Structure 1
Amino acid sequence: MKKTIILILASVIILQGCGLNKVESTPTTSEEKELTTEEKNDSLIPSKDKVLTIRKKCLEGMTDEEISDLTSWIAAQNLSLEQEYVYDGEFEKYEDPDALIWNLYDETGEEVLIGYAYDPDEKEATYHEMDETEYGEKYGEPVVTSKEYNADAYIEKLQALQETINNADFSAEIQKLIGYYNEIKESHSVGALRNIYYIYHDMDYYLLRYAPEDFSEDMIADKSTIETYYGVLDVMK
């Protein structure tokens, strides 16, 4: 049986914003205990002066190399999640905690199984009573990808970055990320995955960088994502 191979890069650098549905104006908490997010509204975006002031406090005592490593890592994770899960709508694939797509956070290697490719119309016509996984295992083609980081590897990397941070409040933001990766390990929580994205997004665009000025018009095709501010970082409150 042939294998369908998809390459997913952990550090996708894509300078293209992406559209997303407007966050509810009344903040809510989901069953997965997602972070409370602010309404998408330009007036809620922090000023450049505020970002620069808080950034200085957060990075105080770090070397230029440590700051560069941290900024590059956070940016890479934000842009990767933005492309894979927001722009491509991949969050929906994680709604089922038993879905094979969770192998992306459970395993590493050159051929990580993330699903099966098959014709859904043919399945419905011949074995409509069979669940998708069983049908895929019997009649589909395995879909595999290479993956360098699983949840444990992300945690290890974040802990290494955390050791370079002197500011306790900023260190606590990194600790929140570590906690959500642990939730993913334990329960395959899509809420935890979304929270990870929210934190990376705000940390990249509105703490370590300042998106409204750091991205010129010719660098992006859609500004809707960089103009979105979730307001999930405690250091910014």
Structure 2
Amino acid sequence: MLELLKFFFQKIDFLAIAEMSRKHKNRKMAAQLHLILVQSYEIIELYQVLLDELQAALGSHKKVGNQEYFSLNPSRIASLLKRQASNIEVMEHLTYELMDELRILDNQFLEVYRSIFPGKFGILFEAQHLLLQGRLPLGESQPKYFPATPEGEYRTLWFTGKTPTEDRKSVEKILHCFSGEEKIVIDVNIHDGDVFFNELARYFDKEDPINRLSEIKVLTENYRKVLQQNFSIEDVLSEIGKVRKHSNWAKNK
């Protein structure tokens, strides 16, 4: 999931977009770029909270007899994941709007975006679908693999307030988009005991989400500097209300 966001910031040439926006004195694009930055901060901040709480849970986990003890509220984590799904939806919508604006000036930017995230119901939609269910996708891979790992494993952590009563095998069969091929699905619930914490430990050890998040913070800071160098406060504020209002309307329609 973090690798997907990192890929997004690396592949879209925000510097070229900002320079084009300034050249054409397009304040609407300046506002759109600024809101994408703001939304990036929202996503990063929430991801930091998630990682901090999951790491604390891993450190506090112990088993006494048949009882599991750990410091984590699974219902809260599920709510945070749903909030992140909303954040990504806003980011996706803002980016689509920006690309629509760019298409008028230079279609190459739109083609680059489509090559990274093909289709309206593509990679970002898949991420939202899992997050809304209280599931954290663990596959840190580029778009051509996501939500699977490069090895073809679909790994998720599932957070529910109570032990799920559904038939887990049946759920796994329909959890990811149907491609006609059998998938290796590893969907571990918070109430699965040691299996869950082993999978969580594997995530921190193998996927290194803390370092990945730090890399995204650096990319976002570079993006902020690009905007600061190319736009004035007046450029952003003159259109930001209209862009935000339209984005909220489109998101909630």
Of structures 1 and 2, the one scoring higher in RCO (CA 8 A, sep 6+) is: 1
TM class by smaller structure: 0.3 to 0.5
TM-score (norm 1): 0.36
Q: Greater helix share, 1 or 2?
A: 2
